[in-house]
Homo-oligomer: A and B are copies of this chain.
Amino acid sequence: MSQLRRDPITGRWIIINTEKSVAPDKFDYVERPVKKGAKGCPFCPGNERMTPPEIIAHRRVGESNSPGWWIRVVPNKYPALEIEGELAKEGIGVFDKINGIGAHEVIIDSPDHFTELSDVDDKQAEEVIWAYLGRSIDLRRDKRFKYILVFRNYGMAAGASLEHPHSQLIALPIVPKRVNEEIKSSSEYFEYKERCVFCDLLRQEMEDKERIICENKHFFCFAPFVSRFPYEMWIIPKKHSSDFSLLEKEEVRPLGVILRDALHKLKVALNDPPYNFIIHTSPINGHEREDYHWHIEIMPKLVQVAGFEWGSGFYINPVAPEEVSKNLFGIE
């Protein structure tokens, strides 16, 4: 029989078949990410002039917008939001609108067209996190922005339009509804119990050990009890912290390494599936809050979200997270 499970953080329900999970090799219809080649790639070294001028790059020597970098951050050439201008809010009858002010940046994760984040060395994994962190800290200073969203789309089926390894960052003039909901709900839990709901969840997952994927001194990676998607994984700091941009120096490399390891396990077990990951962090406010806990949600794209999911906000997941742990834990 299937089971309905409720997420204590968002109140989201999922339907899961706990008796018979779909095996990892049964997702063979999934469109795999392809690397057709580096020719004409705007993110490859030597082609720096094909992107807007870089915002920042990690390089030892050499000029801006020339090769020699190992991480490069550029404005998105086709931004969803534009950086220039003042915020203008307006009502039209029952509707509200704002002009599209914001930042939309691309973090080029590696100079190598063919080496994905799942396969970089520890040093490069660390550098990617430094780039996320540096850009987050910098953009928080702009008073027009209320939220910074760091995410990665891997593979066309997950919404990536270029095949060179890259992540994205969007700074928004409003706090997105999805974030507000998460905060509101965890804040209610805190009011009631005087404890962070994520800390409680983390403690339970660390004790149960049934859904663990991997861990290190600072971070814990697990398949959540209430996974919306098959092979969904979360990475969460063991020490309470609400804000990714307050990450400490000694946490940067362990975060890069555990993220790389989780993606590598996914790649090996599921034949390199497309995925999205997103850093969930608190809105910009400059200090730690007790009631929220930042974390990364990794969502492989193995099933189609259909009418039922759209209509209900309810997800049908054909793989039990306990099974995900069994299948991924041992993979190096």
- Please state if A168 and B280 are interface contacts (CB–CB under 8 Å): no
Residue pair B307, A152 in contact (C-beta under 8 Å): yes
Residues 85-99 of A at the B interface (beta carbon under 8 Å): 85, 92-99
When the two chains form the complex, which single residue of B7, B10, B12, B99 contacts A4, counting CB atoms closer than 8 Å?
Answer: B99
In the complex, per-residue mask of A270-314: 1 if CB is within 8 Å of any chain B CB, else 0: 000000111110000000000000000101000011111011111
Contacts of A311 in B (CB 8 A): 149, 151, 176, 178, 276, 278-280, 297
Let me know if A80 is at the binding interface, CB within 8 A: yes
- In the docked arrangement, what's the CA distance between A272 and B80, Å? 27
Beta-carbon contacts under 8 Å, A181-213 to B: 181, 197, 200-201, 204
- The verdict on A106 contacting chain B, using a C-beta distance below 8 Å, is no
Assess whether B100 is in contact with A159, with CB atoms less than 8 Å apart: no
Interface residues on A, range: 35 or more
- A8–B93 Cα distance when bound, in Å, is 10
Is A255 interfacial (CB 8 A cutoff)? no
User: Given A80-B15, A149-B308, A176-B13, A5–B96 Cβ distance below 8 Å?
Assistant: yes
Contact of A170 among B276, B297, B308 (CB under 8 A): B308
Asked if A172 is at the interface of the complex by the 8 Å CB criterion, the answer is: yes
* Minimal Cβ-Cβ distance residue in B for A11: B177
A216–B7 Cα distance when bound, in Å, is 42
Known: A159-B307, A178-B313, A306-B158. A3 touches B172 (CB 8 A): no
Q: Which one, B3, B81, B157, B178, contacts A304 given CB within 8 A?
A: B157
B100 touches A310 (CB 8 A): no
- Give the Cβ gap from A97 to chain B, nearest Cβ, in Å: 5
Min CB–CB distance A117 → chain B (angstroms): 13
Contact B5 A97 (CB under 8 A): yes
Check A173 for interface membership: any CB of B closer than 8 A: yes
Across-interface contacts of A277 in B (CB, < 8 A): 307
Q: Does A61 contact B (CB under 8 A)?
A: no
A114 within 8 A of B: no
CA distance A147 to B197 in the complex (A): 28
Residues in chain B near residue A120, CB distance under 8 A: none
> Of all chain B residues, which has the CB nearest A228?
B310
**CB <8 Å contact, A95 and B5:** yes
| A178 and B316 contact, CB distance less than 8 A | no
Closest to A207 in B: B93
The answer for the CA separation of A226 and B94 in the assembled complex, in Å, is: 11
Known: A2-B80, A307-B158. A179 touches B312 (CB 8 A): yes
Please give me the residue from chain B that is nearest to A313 by CB atom: B178
Instruction: Add 8 more A-B contacts to A149-B312, A172-B314 (CB < 8 A).
Output: A3-B100, A6-B97, A7-B95, A13-B174, A13-B176, A147-B312, A170-B308, A305-B305
Binding site for B on A (CB under 8 A): 1-8, 10-13, 15, 80-82, 85, 92-100, 147, 149, 151-153, 156-160, 168, 170, 172-174, 176-179, 181, 197, 200-201, 204, 225-226, 276-280, 297, 299, 304-308, 310-314, 316
9 contacts between A and B (CB under 8 A): A2-B81, A6-B95, A13-B176, A94-B200, A149-B312, A151-B306, A176-B311, A178-B311, A179-B313
